Structure 1
């Protein structure tokens, strides 16, 4: 399969970043909304796969990661805007090709669009489809509750999720870069599959995925069959709320994702290029 050589990838990434800055807020919101919904579709599918018992340790996580890779495929191949991937635009800023204000503007609108798309999908699946009023909804509640600290704001919990998020977006951004290197759809699918499967199976944390997982759990609190099968205590159910979603998860995970993509991929590859001797 043809692909772009490593030495030529960074210029391609920078050019793609510059192109992204030409988009106005409304297209950024719309494309961000689509990307949030696409990640939500993958998260719902992973929830379905995670329902029920599988004897072999790790197999359920592997299968959940395998199907979750669909989300980034839907983002990259048809084209939409995902905030975690857009942290790679940091390389273009370091090179002086885009201004910091423009970079932050892009991130703001894309992040808001991703949030809207993921929560919207969680809402229509929970409220209208009937698919969460049963065992899958119980799994959604368990997943969401596991992402919220058992007590009011916990430093240890948030530090753990910050570190998991660094590892997550390190892998996600490598998947984006490898997909950029691939020159055909088959190559892009393979480039996306393995890193995304790895981050989910490893238990790392992705902010946009959690924008679906946690609201899906919050919405499932209103579904009797989902609630009865979840086995959560009254305290755990009380802790599962929109405020805790931010204080106990999304703030730490978003910061960790930012570090994983902007520093460990975009920043270090940009720096490595600068350290290369002139040819």
Structure 2
């Protein structure tokens, strides 16, 4: 059967985290770069579809194609390694240290950002004919997204920051659920179905994804958005990264690990023992 049971799933998650800790710098950067680029091309696609159809649900339905492709190709997003890599440390796998976990996160962040920025520049060139004309409708929409999701939060002060953080938490709760759901099946169709649903939820609900934002906000700056680089990092990227970390490891990684890799002792009496206790004793 293509279904992977939860205990097997937990072991696969820990194994995947361990493998990423010991991956070479070159491979980690290449895989992260391609993951960021593919996901952000899908984001550009989803925004284009939304603008052209006027139906956000259509863009949300189609956006997961990028996530599915990058996962099937074995590329890494920061949101995924936030969830999987710490499990190898928690499980005390030989040679896994906190330094290795932080190294992996740092390399994946750099690779994702480079891939996202590459796509941001390319799409900005397309939307403006190499910056010779005003941005088209999609380019203008990207600029407005950048404004509303930076200075829009800043206008609400601490309440805006809390809202941003919670959106980051909820985002990686869904995204990492997609990563883990893909491991539940050994078939391509099963993996795609498992990934598609939670990714659709996060995108349509407008939750904050640190890698997608690495495309949206640099694009917005290049396409006339009225916000600054400081606005982007302080009022979006940094809180989003922290929220993504908390959401992934807390609501996905640790929950699966604690109940399937380190299952609590059962209070139920085994059937064989129960039968032995109930068997009558013959007195001679």
TM category, shorter: 0.7 to 0.9
How does the TM-score come out when normalised to structure 1? 0.87
Shift of 1:62: 2.0
Q: Does 1:216 align with 2:207?
A: no
Q: Does 1:83 align with 2:90?
A: no
Counterpart selection for 2:178 from 146, 163, 175: 175
Give the match for residue 60 of structure 2.
65
Give the match for residue 25 of structure 2.
25
Q: Does 1:12 align with 2:7?
A: no
Counterpart selection for 1:244 from 215, 218, 231: 231
Aligned mates of 1:63, 1:129 — CA distance in 2 = 21
Give the match for residue 39 of structure 2.
39
Aligned mates of 1:73, 1:198 — CA distance in 2 = 15
Counterpart selection for 1:277 from 262, 265, 273: 265
Give the match for residue 145 of structure 1.
147
Computing the radius of gyration from Cα coordinates, the structure with the larger value is 2
Q: State the Cα deviation string for residues 157-210 of structure 1 (Å, max 9, x = none).
A: 221011011111011111101101211111111111110001111121100000
Aligned mates of 2:197, 2:40 — CA distance in 1 = 19
Shift of 1:61: 2.9
Please state whether the residue corresponding to 1:51 is helix, strand or coil. Answer: helix
Q: Report which stretch shifted further, 107-116 or 155-164.
A: 155-164
Give 5+ residue unaligned stretches, structure 2.
271-284
- Report how many residues are paired: 258
Q: Does 1:265 align with 2:252?
A: yes
Shift of 1:52: 4.5
**Cα distance, 1:65–1:195 mapped onto 2, change above 3 Å:** same
Give 5+ residue unaligned stretches, structure 1.
55-59, 222-236
Equivalent residue runs for 1:89-238 within 5 Å: 89-97=85-93, 98-128=96-126, 130=128, 133-150=135-152, 151=154, 154-221=157-224, 237-238=225-226
How does the TM-score come out when normalised to structure 2? 0.85
Aligned mates of 1:40, 1:149 — CA distance in 2 = 22
Structure with the bigger RCO (C-alpha within 8 Å, sep 6+) is 1
